[in-house]
Amino acid sequence: MIYFDNSATTRPYKEVLDSFLTVSRNYYGNPSSLHSFGAQAERLLTQAREAIAKLLQVKTSEIYFTSGGTESNNLAIKGAAFRHRNRGKHIITSSVEHPSVRLAMEQLKQAGFEITYLPVDETGRISAIDVEKAIRKDTTLISIMQVNNEVGTIQPIEEIGEMLKRYPTILFHVDAVQGIGKVPLALHEDRIDFCSFSAHKFHGLKGTGILYMRDGARLTPLFSGGNQEGKLRSGTENVAGAVALAKALRMTLTKSEAGIERMKTIQNLLRTELSKNEAIHINTPVENAAPHILNFSVKGSKSEVFIHSLEEKEIFVSTTSACSSKKKSASSTLLAMGVPETIADSAIRISLSYENTEAEALEVIKAIENTVKRLGRVMK
């Protein structure tokens, strides 16, 4: 089997699974309990939070555990919007955000907020200049993803953060789910107020995530209950999941330098060889692109047909984001980039991890070329 769908989810590290099992089996107390068994669980939760904060180079008090990227995005966006709606109801985002951001914006629109969706250029990138032009007196929040989950475009987070230093009352949220371990991000230096992470994108476990919230920033909680996570996110804490997340993040960042270079080499190999085929159109830009994603279209072919053809060879890739892949519609990201619908409708996404190899890439290239030929004969 060759697994090239790592942007959808990654295989958990063995050490991550081991840590989850150990904590679940031996330290299953409720960290809110007053007895010593609960206190043991609370210490593990605190240690996990401290370890994550150190790895991300932020304060321990700025790390909040969630169930993943979708919850972190919703908590940051809706929480900020409702907390500061007396100051204004205008929010800025891009036209190529993940569904958990885009649909959260649509819900806020129904609640009386006004959303500005910034356009992207042919590479899928917004302009920091356009962000500033869109700012109004009633703007309270800007939410921009770090790395596009479909084509891998890196957005100008650093430039936007630098510009926002002139607008201290506007909050800045970044969806970094696809970027962690692949593209550097400096939370404090880039003037980011909220940042979302999901463990299963970096070899952790599904159902675990983080929201970074800068000290001094404020949100309205979405959940009511026991006031866990600094009263921001009620619900009994997933101690084993938090410990496993810290383990996954440490292992990923330790491996990142060599892993990123390996992914760049494989991505370049895939791009070079696939570009030789006249039936293939590469959608991922050359510049400002993450090292782990390569999006391409096969002219005259439906993406779902192509994916199932590769699956017969035990090669696993995807179409758009995993959250939208079962919807039979063209990629909204590619359409926003100006890609014709006929090409956008046949998009395939390859996404890599540190564990993938050049030998796998060569096998995938051969399988893609053979599939293009076979489907081409069927279409005639």
Annotated active-site positions, please? 323
What is residue 81's three-state secondary structure?
A: helix
Q: Which string of DSSP letters, residue by residue, matches 281-296?
A: EE-S-SSSB-TTEEEE
Would you tell me the crossing angle of helices 358-379 and 303-311 to the nearest 10 degrees?
Answer: 120
Strand-pairing partners, residue 195, are 174, 212
Residue of 130, 132, 126, 129 lying closest to 145 (CA atoms): 126
CA 101 to chain centroid: 11
Q: How far apart are CA 52 and CA 323, in angstroms?
A: 27
CA separation (Å) from 23 to 11, 38, 51, 68, 198?
Answer: 20, 12, 16, 20, 20
Contact 306, 318 (CB under 8 A): no
CA 347 to chain centroid: 19
Residue of 295, 257, 299, 262 lying closest to 278 (CA atoms): 299
CA 162 to chain centroid: 22
Q: For the chain, first and last CA: distance in Å? A: 31
Residue 60 DSSP code = G
- Strand (E) or helix (H) holding 348: strand 347-351
Tokens of residue 163, six digits? 């510009």
Residue 5 DSSP code = B
* 232 burial via Cβ count (<10 Å: 0-12, 13-18, 19+): buried
